[in-house]
Amino acid sequence: MRQIVLDTETTGLEPELDHRIIEIGCVELVNRRATGRTFHRYLNPERDIDEGALAVHGISRAELDGQPRFAEIAEELLQFISGAELVIHNAAFDIAFLDAELARLAGEPRQIAGLCQVLDTLALARELHPGQRNGLDALCKRYSVDNSARELHGALLDARILADVYLAMTGGQGALALMEADVSARANDGARPRVPLRISVPLSITTATSEELAAHEAMLAIIAKASGGRCVWSAMDTPVPVKESTVAPQRSSA
> What is the set of active-site residues?
153
Contact (Cβ atoms closer than 8 angstroms) between residue 147 and residue 153: no
Q: What CA–CA distance (Å, rounded) separates 75 from 114?
A: 15
**Residue 21: exposed, middle, or buried by beta-carbon count in 10 A (0-12, 13-18, 19+)?**
buried
Q: Are strands 33-42 and 21-30 parallel, antiparallel or unpaired?
A: antiparallel
Q: What residues have CB less than 8 Å from 73, skipping those under 6 apart?
A: 24, 41, 43
Contact (Cβ atoms closer than 8 angstroms) between residue 120 and residue 88: yes
For residue 35, which amino acid is it? Answer: T
